Structure 1
Amino acid sequence: MNWDEFLQSLAGSLPTGDKRTAVEQCIGEGDLLTACEIARKALRPDVFKGELLRHFAEKRFKPAPIHKDIVGIDSRIVITTNFDKIYEMEANTMLHGDILVKNYYDSDLADTLRRQQRCVLKIHGTIDTPDKTIFTRTDYASARITHRHFYRALEALFMTHTFVFLGASMRDPDLRLILEDYAYRYGGTRPHFMVMPSGSPVPPVLEVLEESMNLRTICYDPALNHAELATGISELKNLVETERATLRNTLNW
């Protein structure tokens, strides 16, 4: 289930009236953060929490081959906006538990990043602690003030590493703020990369996003359930393995 479908389900759980109409209108306009804010306020806290768990924890989603290939690329630092556990569970299975998982509210993030262990940074929290997941405009604003140290660490990572975004949305306020700040504060630096379906967004909008966030996009055909993306990730994994073998032989680090 994707984000839109979850919000549609929340809207359906509301009684007919102004709040339900407002949620549906916000979803239609693509303002998903406001839609979630209204729905959460309209529902009792226990009901909203129950819906989260029902949709994202109790479904028992299984990893797809693309998850295995992403783990196989073996990046030491992985940042995810997802609060489900599909990737980290697959990573810990394949890598025998050698993954540290940190959330935006953890106080030992800096120590984790300076160690050699692989780590997953969950910038919106985890479904294991649904009360701390980031869903709404209020959540985003509160997290940026209360957990400033985490966002400073993210800024440092974006300066010192090149990231490839898979399945991320540029509607995410955290990513947009950090990337826009990075792009304008450090003009002329190397770009980050984003993989996205062709035509989403349309070329003029895409051009603005690339320039304002110092991104380079890699577009693919989303037909056949994003088969081209899965093939591309699998090929990338093979290229990474080949390059690692070359480094072992040449010692040219």
Structure 2
Amino acid sequence: MSINWPQSLVPEIAERRCIIVLGSGASAGSLSSDGKTRPPNWSKLLIDAANLLSADDKKVVLALVANEKYLDAAEIVVNRSNEADYAEFVRDVFVEPRFEHSEIHEQVLALDAKIVVTTNYDDIYETYCKTGKGSQGYNVCRYYESHALNDVRSKMRIILKAHGCVSDPQRTVLARTQYHRAQREHTQFFNLLDSLFLANTLLFIGCGLADPDFNLLLESTNIKCPSAHPHYAVVENGVPLPLRQATRTVYNVECLEYEAGQHQEVVDALKELNNKVSNWRRTHS
């Protein structure tokens, strides 16, 4: 099956009224410098992090992950592991492999959105943006930095890192309590994110509906304002109908499905979307 891009989404992207939100799946196609390792999804990240815990805590975390209760598992990892050990774990997972960018990163950059929000700790996308044609035009703002509003008002393309970065592992956000603390301590950033999410169309790429990053981002942002224009999430098919309906009703997010496990379909679909956006920009400039 192929992703059927809504016709109304094309001008939203072309006229830069669409914010692209990147989750862990966007980096799944990246490879380490030795060609042996890929960035983990949420399940693998939490399973590996469970090795930082005692045997009893690890058993609980693995059971929670098996039931896709990722936020609960993350809470145990964060609260029961040694802080220094956890920071070192984040570096080992996301820095040491020296990941290359993926084809999805290439296609997202080509869409040339004004704003990309990412919940990923890795710096793969922003590193890629700072090469080639993106070298002069991109600025990165992490949730604990203060220049996000200035960036939005500038001509720069910007990357907002809502859950922190490998550059400061102890400020990465994994658990719900960490996210709520980040909101309290960095109100300006998250208020801005609220406003941006209300005023723009969102396109989620690499965010599963059960992923903590997807749920935390939507939990913190009031995007329930009635609108005839939905937001969109590229997801594997097979999402239960009640979950799809709830996501649409509560958050106004419509699922754009592709065949489960066939991630090349996402790349091909993004290439098609890029062609449509490029044609729109040429004919409406």
- TM-score, normalised relative to structure 2: 0.80
The equivalences for 1:63-78 within 5 A come to 63-78=101-116
User: Does residue 108 of structure 1 match 2:147?
Assistant: yes
Aligned to 1:218: 256
Instruction: State the distance in 1 between where 2:158 and 2:234 align.
Output: 22
Work out which of the residue numbers 165, 186, 206 in structure 1 matches 2:204: 165
Aligned residue number for residue 98 of structure 1: 137
Out of 266, 269, 275, which is 1:229 matched to? 266
Q: Counterpart of 1:124?
A: 163
| Partner residue, 1:37 | 75
Aligned twin of 1:240: 277
Corresponding residue number in structure 1 for 2:50? 11
Partner deviation per Cα, 1:94-129 (whole Å, 9 max, x = no partner): 312421000111112111111111000000011111
Indicate if the aligned counterparts of 2:78 and 2:174 stay in contact, CA closer than 8 A: no
Rg larger in 1 or in 2?
A: 1
Supply the distance in 2 between the matched residues of 1:126 and 1:97 (Cα, whole angstroms): 21
CA–CA separation in structure 2 for the residues paired with 1:54 and 1:197: 29
Provide the C-alpha distance between the structure 1 equivalents of 2:261 and 2:223, rounded to a whole number of angstroms. 33
Distance 1:219 1:10 in 2: 30
2:44 aligned with 1:2: no
Quote the residue 2:181 is aligned against.
Answer: 142
Residues 222 and 229 in structure 1, CA contact (< 8 A), matched pair in contact too: no
What is the TM-score with the length of structure 1 in the denominator?
0.89
In structure 2, the gaps of 5 or more residues are 1-39
**2:236–2:261 contact (8 Å) kept in structure 1:** no
Q: Distance in 2 between matches of 1:197 and 1:228?
A: 10
Deviation at 1:175, TM superposition (A): 2.0
RMSD between aligned alpha carbons?
1.6
% same residue: 29
- Could you tell me how far apart the structure 2 residues matched to 1:6 and 1:223 are? 19
Cα distance per residue 1:31-54 (max 9 Å; x no partner) = 222322322333322211111110
Q: Distance in 1 between matches of 2:53 and 2:198?
A: 44
Q: 1:175–1:53: structure 2 CA closer, same or farther, 3 Å change rule?
A: same
- The equivalent of 1:197 in structure 2 is 236
Q: After superposition, what is the alpha-carbon deviation per residue over 1:191-215, rounded to whole angstroms, capped at 9, x for unaligned?
A: 111111111x211221111111111
Aligned residue identity for 1:92: K
Q: Which has the higher contact order (CA 8 A, sep 6+)?
A: 2
Q: Which amino acid aligns with 1:168?
A: C
Matches of 1:21 and 1:112 in 2, distance apart?
44
Report the alpha carbon displacement of residue 84 of structure 1 after superposing the two structures with TM.
0.5
Is residue 177 from structure 1 mapped to residue 219 from structure 2 by the alignment?
A: yes
Residue type at the aligned position of 2:216 = D
Q: Which amino acid aligns with 2:68?
A: G
Q: In structure 2, the residue corresponding to 1:135 is in which secondary structure?
A: coil
- AA at the equivalent of 1:119: I
